[in-house]
Structure 1
């Protein structure tokens, strides 16, 4: 099947997709006393920990933002919320087929709907968290409302990027169960290779001669990470009050399209024997 045919198949099953998303949202905090409040408590608790460790103890200084803004928690949240969404979408998405093995074996439906619904449910939480962050900026006297449409566009782009990775990993994880453990290790490395808890200026300040590649400076290698474009672009608009450079955004867009195409192609190739493998 072509990519267009796969999209049409998902579109024809949109009612089922909506129901799957609702199921994901209902089950996310089912049985907890605080419910959806955990979607705010978790990033705030993480922010408090990182602020103590990196801002107070290690004295990592955030750059000065729009209107003289100088706040490590706000600087951190601009990147942390996007990273938390990616982690939830990818690491949760990679196990969604295994978690729904009984459903897959009982009836036929487009299997990718399970992955899409998981990413969509994580995106709803992402929207809520970013909405709260926008409100916090307004409380601090920083008018970020003009940037919200562009930030929303980047959030959707990040969701598509995460969907491509989740499609790829979810189906591969059915055949090779060690994948989840490798991904968990890789995500830890990826986190520290992305300017979330520190400003990118710390990387740009490293001399090119310290690169471990002979022909590429360290900053160039660093910016091959697509999450750099996503995190820095959101931070530029919300924290810096400026339009991000076009280069990182276009690179993130290209990487997103490749991620979706590869993830969907691998999923289509391997989904035929899912019921037997599960």
Structure 2
């Protein structure tokens, strides 16, 4: 049985697990769900101070929005990145954290990964809504593009789910996976145009020239799937324009490929998870 039918037949379990994740994340904290806003705001303040005041990176005003606020430009890519890493990290810990449940009763193991991802989506939606309001307050015309932003969020969710399913299986077999991923995410973060514009990479690529035949540094750089997602979200939110079709197709292709591979890996191993854990 494929992933989608299995999840649909376990809708009630999925809803209950998602609600448990949402309610339990900030249980017994004074600020509750406000922590979901304070964490990215703290990162925004630190990165804005370092990269727009000290190092002075200037991405330029949005075209054609005219918005010229580094903090908003930063958040348009930082929030999708944070969501992606939260889904993958949550997926890796979902199986290990529910080891007793998996060993006691059979149910579609996919549900644990999907529930964790939906809980992260709930938090991300709140963060993106606050960002949209901030863009409106500074004069951005983001309202016509919100439906496309929602579609982009769904595509990123599919991509993140695919990676999370594959990594959750790897972590069940090799617990070192979660530690290796933390290092990979640190490197991946700085290889993604979150703190600096792609124009900086293009400038260095033009200076160095081809590195392998006709292949340039920027050609290799654009193989990063999160580069395409960053471009799409910044185009819609910061620039208030339609993203390039190349970036859109790239994101969809990565999402379909990641989900297909992740679902295949998970389906092959899910019946053995009780033994492995």
User: Do they fold alike, i.e. is TM over 0.5?
Assistant: yes
Structure 2: gaps spanning 5 or more residues: none
Runs of 4 or more consecutive aligned structure 1 residues displaced over 2 Å after TM superposition: 207-215
> Which residue in 2 is equivalent to 1:272?
271
Q: CA–CA distance in 1 between the matches of 2:83 and 2:165?
A: 16
Displacement of 1:14 in angstroms is 1.0
Q: Give the equivalent residue in structure 1 for 2:252.
A: 253
Residue in 2 that maps onto 1:204: 202
Matches within 5 A, 1:138-177: 138-177=136-175
Task: Give the corresponding residue for 1:130.
Answer: 128
Contact preservation (8 Å) 2:65, 2:238? no
Going from structure 1 to structure 2, the CA distance change for 1:211 and 1:50 (only over 3 Å counts) comes to: farther
**Deviations 1:20-57 (Å, cap 9, x if unpaired)?**
11011011111211000001001111000001111000
Counterpart residue number, 1:228? 227
How many residues get paired?
275
TM-score w.r.t. length of structure 1: 0.96
2:3 to 3, 6, 17: 6
Deviation digits for residues 159-181 of structure 1 (CA, Å, limit 9, x no counterpart): 01000001001111111111111
Q: What is the TM-score of this pair, normalised by structure 2?
A: 0.96
Cα RMSD for the two superposed structures: 1.2
Contact 2:66/2:239 (CA < 8 Å) preserved in 1? no
The equivalent residue for 2:237 is 238
Match of 2:176 in 1: 178
> Helix, strand or coil: the match of 2:204?
coil
Gaps of 5+ in 1: none
> What's the offset of the Cα at 1:211?
5.6
Once residues 188 and 210 of structure 1 are traced to their aligned partners in structure 2, the CA distance between those partners, rounded to angstroms, is 27
Aligned to 1:194: 192
Does residue 57 of structure 1 match 2:54?
Answer: yes
**In the aligned structure 1, how far is the partner of 2:124 from the partner of 2:212?**
36
